[in-house]
């Protein structure tokens, strides 16, 4: 029995390790990162552009400078936030009409800020669905909703995404989460997403505590995704039950933490949300270095920044 349990634990650990490797594959050995060009604005790198997109940019010299020394830049004449935003939006609208790029079929009319670091002033903003074409950093918030009963046992609320979601339909998700839109604050986004997705009153959502970030960079057929998620823990009253709000969630589950731990290593979980839960399990000592041989690899894989 002990050997069977050890074997199951080893399989769980390996599945988690493979998840983290997939979510950090852009800089791994054998990736196609060498085929990407730096995307620069006013001399600052803000992203990575795949060669197929770089070739499209060459047809628009009024907006983009030719590739030079491994980089593609916005035309220096676009010297303000507004001009850059308008030019790139015009380019993207043209691509949307004329190309078959799959990511643009998910156009959301939601803008993300573009800057070298989160602490920097935005240089422009860009349609969310197009960010992978330029490899710009994307930021979001994820909220772990959990309760602690009188015996000290921890349970967590998970959401199952709507089957009509544009990305990862039907998979398990955190209690609430969302991208950080241009001009909207982090805590403001937390409260908004809690209200919209889980019908959590603002007064309760305001109690969510910032506990760090989870960061990773991966590539797929749509481009490169350097993402940083601001993570919040929200301890909920035992009697509270979230309910479906804006239709992005089909239902909620209230599960003991051992079941949640089991699920994060399966394909039933949206990958970056599984990482957020893994971070919760580590921070709350449900995974500890004496019992998890891959503990250090897990911690490193949750915090890969560039």
- The answer to whether residues 219 and 240 belong to one domain is yes
Last residue of a domain, one of 133, 156, 172: 133
**How would DSSP label each residue in 115-163?**
-SSTTSPPSEEEEGGGHHHHT--EEEEEEEEEEE-TT--EEEEEEEE-T
What burial letters (b/e) apply to 153-174, b meaning 16+ CB within 10 Å? ebbbbbbbbbeebeeeeebbbb
Provide the CATH number for the domain around residue 246. Answer: 3.90.79.10
Domain membership of residue 198 (yes or no) is yes
Q: What CATH number corresponds to the domain at position 53?
A: 3.30.750.160
Residues 39 and 142 occupy one common structural domain: no
Q: Is residue 121 part of a domain?
A: yes
- Contact between 39 and 71 under an 8 Å Cβ cutoff? The reply is yes
Domain shared by 261 and 149, yes or no: yes
Q: Is the pLDDT confidence value at 7 over 90?
A: no
Considering the entire predicted model, what is its pTM? Answer: 0.94
Q: What's the CA gap between 146 and 179, in Å, rounded?
A: 21
Give residue 111's domain range.
33-133
Query: pLDDT tens digit string along 215-261?
Result: 999 998 888 999 999 999 999 999 999 999 888 899 999 999 999 99
> pLDDT for 107-148, tens place per residue?
888 999 999 999 999 999 999 999 999 999 999 999 999 999
Q: Are residues 43 and 118 in the same domain?
A: yes
């Amino acid at each position: 029995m002990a050997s069977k349990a050890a074997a199951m634990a080893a399989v769980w650990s390996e599945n988690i390790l493979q998840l983290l490797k997939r979510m950090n594959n852009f800089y791994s050995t054998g990736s196609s990162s060498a085929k990407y060009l730096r995307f620069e604005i006013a001399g600052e790198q803000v992203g990575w552009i795949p060669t197929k997109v770089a070739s499209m940019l060459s047809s628009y010299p009024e907006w983009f400078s030719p590739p030079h020394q491994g980089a593609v830049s916005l035309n220096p004449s676009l010297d303000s936030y507004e001009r850059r935003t308008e030019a790139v939006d015009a380019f993207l609208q043209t691509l949307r009409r004329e190309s078959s790029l799959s990511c643009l079929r998910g156009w959301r009319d939601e803008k993300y800020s573009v800057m070298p670091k989160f602490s920097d002033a935005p240089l422009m903003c860009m349609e969310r669905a197009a960010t992978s074409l330029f490899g710009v950093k994307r930021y979001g918030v994820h909220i772990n909703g959990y309760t602690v009963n009188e015996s000290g046992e921890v349970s967590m609320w998970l959401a199952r995404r709507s089957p009509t979601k544009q990305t990862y339909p039907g998979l398990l998700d955190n209690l609430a989460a969302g991208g950080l839109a241009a001009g909207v604050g982090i805590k403001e986004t937390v409260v908004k997403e809690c209200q919209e997705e889980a019908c959590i009153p603002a007064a309760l959502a305001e109690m969510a505590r910032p506990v760090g970030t989870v960061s990773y960079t991966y590539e797929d057929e749509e481009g490169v995704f350097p993402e940083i998620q601001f993570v919040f823990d929200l301890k909920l009253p035992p009697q509270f039950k979230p309910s479906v709000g804006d239709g992005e969630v089909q239902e909620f589950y209230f599960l003991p933490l051992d079941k949640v731990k089991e699920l994060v290593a399966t394909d039933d979980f949206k990958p970056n949300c599984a990482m957020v839960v893994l971070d919760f399990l580590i921070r709350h000592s449900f995974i500890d270095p004496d019992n998890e041989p891959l503990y250090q690899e897990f911690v490193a894989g949750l915090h890969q920044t560039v």
